[in-house]
Amino acid sequence: MPNIAPCCLTRRLRAGKLPPVHAPADSSRSSTAFIPDSGQAWVRLALAVVIGSIGSVGMWSVVVVLPVVQGEFAATRGAISLAFTLTMLGFGLGGVATGRITDRFGIVVAMGLSIAFLGLAYVAAGLSTTLWQFIAVHFLIGLGTSATFAPLMAEASHWFERYRGLAVTIVASGNYVGGTLWPPLVNWGIQSAGWRTSYIAIGIFCAVAMTIVLAALRVQIGAETTRSHANAPPPRVDLRLSTNTLTVMLCIASIACCVAMAMPQVHIVAYCGDLGYGVARGAEMLSLMMAFGVVSRIGSGFLADRIGGIRTLLIGSVAQGIALLFYLFFDGLTSLYVISAMFGLFQGGIVPSYAIIVRESMPASEAGTRVGLIIFASVFGMSFGGWVSGVIFDASGSYAAAFLNGLLWNALNITIMVALLIRARSRLAMA
């Protein structure tokens, strides 16, 4: 090729007069380049769902043992609910930390640290002798569970381009697969061997099983550690907001929707016990709720790929409010089964939609950090919602006021999503 000045070369490349020049291969990467949406990407996604399903036990075990531990330590409902609050706090803070670790060192390192925390924390909880020890160690359980959600969603979003929305919601479904399987298993363990033995067994099982799956994922990922976003396309949605402003708005929205979401998810087992149906029925309702949540999450991925993340989230939030309203008026056993299934079907796609909105409206290079922050906000909402619902129950003697509180927070989420949707429409009208 003759000598051509850099500026002329650039103009000729843009005009298509010269063939594109490819950068030399990075020796730190594997010899075969990874192709998004390939069969290898789907294998990675399947392994991510398995490890997320196992590790999500930290989100659900305390919900099942709550009435038993409350009786053993003679605690109030509000006090014992702090265990769930600390679990969610550890989950949220851990999600931000493991998200940053994932960006720098890869998902394998982040997940390995989470596995170590999870196994040790469950054993420590099973050996706790006082209420404060039981509550405090659940912060570590939350840390151990953290890498199985926000970091996995951010990581999976880099494995796909055409099916990114679907992939994000599928990997997020691991949390609900765990929510379907773990509550009845934990309840069976409590009835068979007691909650302490069950907790120790959970810790050992998770450490072994998750390590095996992580090793398989490590083989699939190979030498890859971080992702380059230099050639990523610009955001598809322009809301005419700064990235920080949009992040704050999404954080407030996620807090609001998750305060509402926490009421049935955290207290349905105890609620059924109070109504005289027994905690086993409540555990079945929670499992049913999570099973329908899996359907909702995957369905929301298909929907988001067609109508966008904001509209998908708004639909889910409105539907969640309808289900909460039904809880206020119906408390029969059959009605609660039906409403719990509806609640899972309506709200399962809400939280993953935030990750989709981030990818649609923010630079790809910031996706991991922004998703981690917004998921942390949602975790704060779940933590606060679980605790305040218990406090409201202690003050009023029933869960009616707690359901109403959830409805008010849900209305705030709807308001923010409508505001963002209006801005998006206004931008389209100006184009």
Whole-Å CA distances, 233 to 163, 236, 360, 364: 15, 8, 10, 8
Indicate whether this model's pTM tops 0.85: no
Give yes or no for a contact between 144 and 128, defined as CB atoms under 8 angstroms apart: no
Mean pLDDT calculated for residue range 372-388: 86
Amino acid residing at 57: V
Residue 32 is predicted with a pLDDT of: 55
Does residue 323 come out as left (phi exceeding 0), alpha (psi in the -120 to 50 range) or beta?
alpha
Report CA torsion sign: 78, 80, 81, 83: positive
Residue 9 is predicted with a pLDDT of: 38
Tokens 């009835």 belong to 191
Residue 362 is predicted with a pLDDT of: 85
**Token pair recorded at residue 327:** 């809880």
Mean pLDDT calculated for residue range 27-41: 64
Whole-Å CA distances, 357 to 207, 235, 239, 280, 304: 33, 10, 11, 38, 9
Core vs surface per residue 117-130: b (16+ CB within 10 A) or e? bbbbbbbbbbebee
Give percent of the chain above pLDDT 70: 87
pLDDT per residue as tens digits for the range 347-370: 888 988 998 898 888 877 777 778
Does residue 106 come out as left (phi exceeding 0), alpha (psi in the -120 to 50 range) or beta?
left
Residue 70 is predicted with a pLDDT of: 83
Residue 260: band (very low, low, confident or very high) from pLDDT cuts 50, 70, 90: very high
Residue 181 is predicted with a pLDDT of: 85
Q: What is the DSSP letter of 21?
A: P
Give yes or no for a contact between 168 and 352, defined as CB atoms under 8 angstroms apart: yes
Give percent of the chain above pLDDT 90: 32
- What span, in angstroms and rounded, lies between the C-alpha atoms of 406 and 381? 11
pLDDT per residue as tens digits for the range 97-147: 888 788 778 788 889 999 999 999 999 999 988 888 999 999 999 999 988
Q: What is the DSSP letter of 25?
A: P
pLDDT per residue as tens digits for the range 4-18: 444 443 344 334 444
Residue 233: band (very low, low, confident or very high) from pLDDT cuts 50, 70, 90: low
Tokens 């704060």 belong to 380
- In order, the DSSP letters of 197-264 are HHHHHHHHHHHHHHHHHHHHHHHHHTT--S---TTPPPPS---S--HHHHHHHHHHHHHHHHHHHHHH
Cβ-based neighbours of 80, under 8 Å, separated by 6 or more: 66, 69, 70, 73, 131, 135, 390
Give yes or no for a contact between 99 and 372, defined as CB atoms under 8 angstroms apart: yes
- What span, in angstroms and rounded, lies between the C-alpha atoms of 415 and 167? 28
Task: Determine which of 48-57, 337-346, 420-429 has the lowest per-residue pLDDT on average.
Answer: 420-429
How does the average pLDDT of the chain come out, rounded? 82
Task: Determine which of 91-100, 139-148, 406-415 has the lowest per-residue pLDDT on average.
Answer: 91-100
Mean pLDDT calculated for residue range 77-100: 83
Long-range contacts of 335-338 (CB under 8 A, 24+ apart): 336/268, 336/272, 336/277, 336/285, 337/284, 337/285, 337/288
Per CATH, the number for 39-222+231-430 is 1.20.1250.20
pLDDT per residue as tens digits for the range 318-332: 999 999 999 988 888
CB atoms within 10 A of CB 275: 15
Residue 251: band (very low, low, confident or very high) from pLDDT cuts 50, 70, 90: very high
Task: Determine which of 171-180, 225-234, 387-396 has the lowest per-residue pLDDT on average.
Answer: 225-234
For 273, the enclosing helix (H) or strand (E) is helix 243-275
Tokens 């954080």 belong to 251
- In order, the DSSP letters of 28-94 are TS-SSPP-TTSHHHHHHHHHHHHHHHHHTHHHHHHHHHHHHHHHHHT--HHHHHHHHHHHHHHHHHH
Residue 62 is predicted with a pLDDT of: 85
Mean pLDDT calculated for residue range 294-321: 89
- pLDDT of 161 > 60? The answer is yes
Q: What is the DSSP letter of 1?
A: -
The residues spanned by each domain of the chain are: 39-222+231-430
**Token pair recorded at residue 46:** 């399947």
pLDDT per residue as tens digits for the range 172-228: 888 878 877 888 899 899 999 998 999 999 999 999 999 999 999 988 887 554 454
- pLDDT of 29 > 70? The answer is no
Closest by CA to 350, choosing from 303, 397, 283, 387, is: 303
Residue 116 is predicted with a pLDDT of: 94
Residue 180 is predicted with a pLDDT of: 77
Tell me how far the alpha carbon of residue 358 is from its chain's centroid: 14
